[in-house]
Amino acid sequence: MKKDLAYLVGALRDGSVLYDKNSRNYKTIWYEKSRDWLFNSIIKKAVAVFKKNPRLDEYKKGHYRVVLSSQKIYDMIRNDYDFIAPQENWCTPKSIKDASQEVIASYIAGFFDAEGDINPKKYMLGFSQKNYESLEFIREWLNKNSIKTSKIFIADKKSNTWRFYITSKENFEKFNKIVNFEHPGKIMRFRLLLQHT
């Protein structure tokens, strides 16, 4: 399994894999406010992996998406990576669990770029998701790689969103060394985070 594909699968934590009845089209979609991240990370990897040119558009003011129209890709994500909608039911794909450490790290980077957060003022970075198991897998993998994390807890009862976080300069530096996240806004906030610790 290629690292770029694992990254794209992780980044689909803020995405959709669906059949659009109106256009009669099978779509794989990544959403994000950062156009730069979608263009420089998602599109480049999608072209390299799938040999297809996706579409990047602003579907509402300040919100962007990358759309890949292909039944073959739709079927692959659903069959090979166990994609389920709604995503709160989408657990870590077996093919990710069985992958090399390098591929898992790439999956986690994509996941973090899509659903992670960094708060320099609170000295923490975190992962949030509605699917508990997907966070549990990442947390256990990080802990096995000597990155200490908090326990998983309910961050928002209304939306049933789970969360865990990381603190301390030592853990931040280990995380940055192992997990090569690419989101430009998160890279900038990470630098601020290190300045605050």
**Residue 195 banded pLDDT, cuts 50, 70, 90:** confident
Number of domains within the chain:
2
Q: Phi and psi of 162, rounded to 5°?
A: -95, 160
pLDDT, mean of residues 25-54: 96
Is a pLDDT exceeding 70 seen at residue 90?
A: yes
pLDDT, mean of residues 69-90: 94
Domain identity same for 164 and 192: yes
| 77 contacts 12 by C-beta, under 8 angstroms | yes
pLDDT, mean of residues 2-28: 95
Angle between helices 101-115 and 3-11 (to 10 degrees): 30
Domain identity same for 77 and 159: no
Domain identity same for 108 and 191: yes
Residue 40 confidence (pLDDT) = 96
| 131 contacts 87 by C-beta, under 8 angstroms | yes
pLDDT, mean of residues 107-136: 96
| 126 contacts 163 by C-beta, under 8 angstroms | yes
Residue 23 confidence (pLDDT) = 87
Residue 156 confidence (pLDDT) = 87
**CA-to-CA distance for 7 and 105, rounded, in angstroms?**
8
Please report the DSSP string for 5-22 in residue order.
HHHHHHHGGGEEEEEETT
Q: Which is it for the CA torsion 94, 98, 99, 105, positive or negative? A: positive
**CA-to-CA distance for 120 and 101, rounded, in angstroms?**
28
Residue 197 confidence (pLDDT) = 63
Q: Quick one: 81 exposed, middle or buried, by C-beta within 10 A (0-12, 13-18, 19+)? A: buried
Diameter over CA atoms, the chain: 51
Domain membership of residue 30 (yes or no) is yes
Domain identity same for 139 and 82: no
Domain identity same for 163 and 131: yes
Q: The whole model's pTM is what?
A: 0.96
Is a pLDDT exceeding 80 seen at residue 196?
A: no
